[in-house]
């Protein structure tokens, strides 16, 4: 692992020094000014919600396409009618404004029908990860305390497995929403209430009475989105109507989005990125959303061309897949004919960025930094390769970067006990000043459903007594021109296969592995792969031997595959700090290198349903290159 405290570590300044900015600074400043104005349009006390915005746009753009899924298309008016049916049906079933309804649906039109229908009825929607079951699912539902759960037929089997294990589900109504593309077994469907399906058969398509939600203001919760924090199970982040709508207003002027634009939505809608940036921006502009159930490298450009997509949301891992994908139909520079003019996302490395433009042609790339619960963010407005944004005037932002000692796992403090702001090339943690003004939404930290989890993300007395900042848990740095670069995550969360993985969550799920003394989970770098792969350092009890097949079976039973450790090292003893915390830094540096650690190493092989002893042949079989330690590590 690179020494993140070295001023030149991860330094991309050499990589971007030769880049001529394609967007003049004057234009960038003008766009920043428009973004600032857009961020102030909606006030906390406004009686204006997501449903009001949608109904307004449905009237303005009634005949324009809103949702495109495969060969089918729904215009704004048609989606409005489907949402009305949902609103009438859930109201009939007893939901009222302020209640929470959990939904577990994959990316399909019904996700939007249900979401917008709940909004019309003033219901807060809690988006459930469609890949989880067992303890994580129970935790998610317990956290958001729904009055009702709507389960897509495509998720039914995961829910039934959990319903068999946990009695607390007995009193919670689970309504099935059919999925003709993924029918479940009759025995599975029989576990669910079909009352919602029956209610929808007779529900009216006529407008839902908006006076029912009239007491809701813009600052009330609209969504609960689960996000992996630095420790523990995923937390239910609160997303108000104001923040969701403002996100759309700000990104609409950022992208100069218009009704003729088509947004490509293939990232899961239960995550913040697709549910917030893409959907809110498209709705603000009156644009169309091309929905794909799951990402497909082979179908990506086909979808782009078929539906004349103009704006694509990305994550770095997806771009890497597409760059490395053998697309014989479009092979060769300049053969990708498309209408994509803009990309927005995060995690695109400078190298992949250049390769992307070289292979797929010129387009604006809006690389950003932030998170679902963040009260601050950065965004690259002028295509400066490798950067996630620029702060030209630090007096006009609530963003702050303060020095962080990774080895000591604490902030660097001055003689007065305050945090020390970073200078150019110094790595630190990104913070957001919490601003609580009744007339302004910007700078608010809306937090989580759990008050305790909310407080854990706040750091006080940062630059002066009694100030308060949101902690991101991310390490960044900036150069002499004020361009910022993402460096790494602090602590216990890493990103793999487009998902955030909490090491604490994984360790908790695997803690009762037969014969294990301790299990320390962390992320390690894999050459030519975005993010980090999970690795577990296991200390076995005296007299017990590590059973690789049994460990594989436990991960399959307890974890989504993206969260399962890809590597295992069986250690003689755990590396523990004086405060009895498991140390990870040295383990991460050593990775899965047999030269750097003498412990037995194992590699996850899903084809053989086991963890196999380390060898170059096994590494090649699962598609991973040998570990390449940096000079510092």
- pLDDT tens for 490-502 read 866 677 887 878 7
Three-state secondary-structure class, residue 199? helix
Considering only residues 19 and 498, tell me which one the structure prediction assigns the higher pLDDT.
Answer: 498
Q: Please state, as a whole number, how many other Cβ atoms lie within 10 Å of the Cβ of residue 374.
A: 22
Distance, CA of 630 to CA of 633 (rounded, Å):
5
| Percent of residues, the chain, with pLDDT higher than 70 | 91
First to last CA, the chain: 5
Contact 387, 367 (CB under 8 A): yes
Tell me: pLDDT of 5 over 60.
no
Tell me: pLDDT of 231 over 60.
no
The reported pLDDT for the residue numbered 335 is 58
Q: Give the count of alpha carbons within 13 A of 74, CB side only.
A: 18
- pLDDT tens for 268-325 read 999 988 999 999 999 999 999 999 999 998 899 999 999 999 999 998 878 877 887 7
CA 527 from chain centre, in angstroms, equals: 23
Give the chain's mean pLDDT. Answer: 89
The reported pLDDT for the residue numbered 329 is 59
| Spatial CA neighbour of 208 closest among 81, 294, 388 | 81
Distance, CA of 213 to CA of 96 (rounded, Å):
9
Q: Please state, as a whole number, how many other Cβ atoms lie within 10 Å of the Cβ of residue 113.
A: 25
Give Cα separations from 434 to 444, 461, 628 (angstroms): 6, 12, 40
Contact 257, 313 (CB under 8 A): no
Strand (E) or helix (H) holding 356: helix 350-360
Helix-helix angle 316-324:297-306, to 10 degrees: 90
Distance, CA of 296 to CA of 228 (rounded, Å):
25
Give the chain's count of helices (H) and strands (E).
Answer: 20, 28
Contact 102, 148 (CB under 8 A): yes
Find where tokens 């807060």 sit. Answer: 124
Contact 513, 490 (CB under 8 A): no
Select, from the ranges 105-114, 469-478, 493-502, 506-515, the one with the highest average predicted confidence (pLDDT): 105-114
Tell me: pLDDT of 331 over 70.
no
Helix-helix angle 156-165:135-144, to 10 degrees: 90
Query: What is the DSSP annotation of 70-98?
Result: TTEEEEHHHHHHHHHHHHHHHHHTT--TT
Tell me: pLDDT of 379 over 50.
yes
- pLDDT tens for 436-487 read 998 899 999 999 999 999 999 999 999 999 999 999 999 899 999 999 998 8
The reported pLDDT for the residue numbered 328 is 59
The reported pLDDT for the residue numbered 228 is 60
Q: Give the count of alpha carbons within 13 A of 215, CB side only.
A: 5
Q: 239 CB contacts (<8 Å, ≥6 apart)?
A: 221, 222, 223, 224, 225, 272, 276, 372, 446
Q: What is the mean pLDDT of residues 184-191?
A: 92
Query: What is the DSSP annotation of 471-534?
Result: EEEEEEEE-TTSEEEEEEE-SSEEEETTEEEEHHHHHHHHTT-TTEEEEEEEEE--TT-SS-EE
Tell me: pLDDT of 2 over 80.
no
Tell me: pLDDT of 333 over 50.
no
CA 485 from chain centre, in angstroms, equals: 19
CA 123 from chain centre, in angstroms, equals: 23
Tell me: pLDDT of 13 over 50.
no
pLDDT level of residue 124 (50, 70, 90 thresholds): very high
Q: 7 CB contacts (<8 Å, ≥6 apart)?
A: 425, 426
| pTM for the full predicted model | 0.81
Query: What is the DSSP annotation of 451-478?
Result: HHHHHHTEEESSSSTT-EEEEEEEEEEE
pLDDT level of residue 255 (50, 70, 90 thresholds): very high
Contact 477, 266 (CB under 8 A): no
User: What length is written for the chain?
Assistant: 633
- pLDDT tens for 534-563 read 999 999 988 899 999 999 999 999 999 999
| Pairing between β-strand 567-571 and β-strand 601-605 as defined by DSSP bridges | antiparallel
Contact 147, 123 (CB under 8 A): no
- pLDDT tens for 125-159 read 999 999 888 888 999 999 999 999 999 999 999 99
């Amino acid at each position: 692992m690179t020494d993140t405290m070295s001023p030149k570590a991860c330094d991309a300044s050499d990589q971007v020094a030769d880049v001529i900015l394609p967007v003049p600074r004057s234009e960038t400043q003008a766009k920043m000014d428009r973004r600032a104005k857009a961020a102030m349009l909606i006030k906390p006390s406004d009686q204006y919600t997501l449903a009001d915005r949608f109904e307004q746009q449905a009237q303005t753009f009634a005949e324009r396409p809103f949702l495109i899924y495969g060969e089918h298309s729904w215009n704004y008016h048609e989606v409005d009618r489907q949402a009305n049916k949902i609103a009438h049906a859930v109201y009939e079933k007893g939901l009222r404004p302020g209640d929470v309804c959990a939904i577990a649906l994959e990316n399909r039109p019904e996700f939007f029908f249900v979401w917008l229908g709940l909004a019309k009825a003033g219901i807060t929607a809690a988006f459930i990860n469609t890949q989880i079951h067992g303890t994580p699912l129970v935790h998610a539902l317990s956290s958001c305390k729904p009055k009702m759960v709507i389960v897509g037929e495509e998720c039914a089997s995961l829910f039934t497995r959990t319903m068999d294990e946990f009695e607390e589900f007995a009193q919670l109504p689970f309504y099935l929403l059919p999925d003709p593309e993924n029918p479940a077994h009759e025995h599975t469907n029989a576990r669910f209430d079909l009352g919602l399906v029956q209610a929808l058969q007779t529900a009216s398509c006529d407008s839902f009475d908006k006076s029912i939600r009239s007491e809701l203001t813009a600052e009330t919760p609209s969504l609960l989105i689960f996000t992996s924090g630095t420790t523990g199970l995923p937390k239910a982040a609160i997303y108000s109507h104001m923040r969701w709508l403002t996100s759309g207003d700000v990104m609409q002027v950022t992208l100069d989005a218009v009704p003729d634009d088509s947004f490509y939505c293939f990232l899961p809608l239960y995550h913040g990125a697709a549910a917030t940036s893409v959907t809110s921006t498209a709705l603000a502009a009156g644009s169309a959303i091309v929905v794909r159930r799951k990402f497909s490298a082979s179908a990506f450009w086909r979808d782009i061309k078929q539906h004349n997509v103009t704006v694509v949301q990305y994550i770095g891992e997806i771009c890497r897949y597409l760059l490395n994908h053998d697309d014989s139909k479009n092979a060769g520079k300049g053969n990708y004919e498309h209408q994509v003019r803009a990309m927005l996302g995060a995690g695109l490395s400078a190298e992949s960025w250049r390769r992307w433009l070289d292979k797929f042609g010129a387009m604006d790339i809006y690389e950003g930094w932030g998170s679902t619960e963040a009260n601050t963010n950065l965004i690259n407005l002028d295509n400066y390769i490798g950067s996630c944004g620029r702060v030209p005037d630090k007096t006009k932002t609530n963003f702050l970067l303060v020095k962080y000692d990774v080895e000591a796992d604490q902030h660097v403090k001055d003689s007065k006990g305050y945090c020390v702001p970073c200078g150019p090339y110094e790595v630190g943690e990104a913070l957001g000043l919490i601003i609580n003004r009744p007339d302004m939404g910007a700078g608010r930290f809306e937090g989580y459903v759990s008050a305790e989890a909310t407080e854990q993300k706040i750091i006080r007395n940062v630059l002066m007594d009694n100030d308060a900042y949101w902690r991101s848990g991310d390490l960044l740095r900036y150069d002499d021109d004020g361009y910022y670069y993402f460096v790494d995550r602090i602590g216990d969360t890493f990103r793999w296969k487009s998902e955030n993985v909490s090491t604490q969550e994984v360790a908790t799920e695997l803690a009762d592995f037969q014969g294990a003394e301790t299990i320390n989970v962390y992320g390690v770098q894999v050459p030519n792969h975005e993010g980090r792969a999970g690795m577990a350092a296991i200390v076995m009890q005296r007299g017990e031997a590590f059973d690789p097949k049994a460990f594989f079976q436990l991960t399959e039973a307890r974890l989504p595959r993206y969260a399962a450790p890809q590597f295992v090292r069986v250690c003689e003893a755990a590396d523990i700090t004086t405060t009895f915390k498991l140390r990870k830094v040295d383990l991460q540096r050593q990775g899965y290198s047999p030269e750097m650690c003498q412990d037995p190493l194992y590699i996850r092989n899903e084809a053989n349903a086991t963890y196999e002893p380390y060898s170059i042949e096994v590494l090649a079989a699962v598609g991973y290159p040998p570990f390449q330690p940096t000079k510092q590590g």
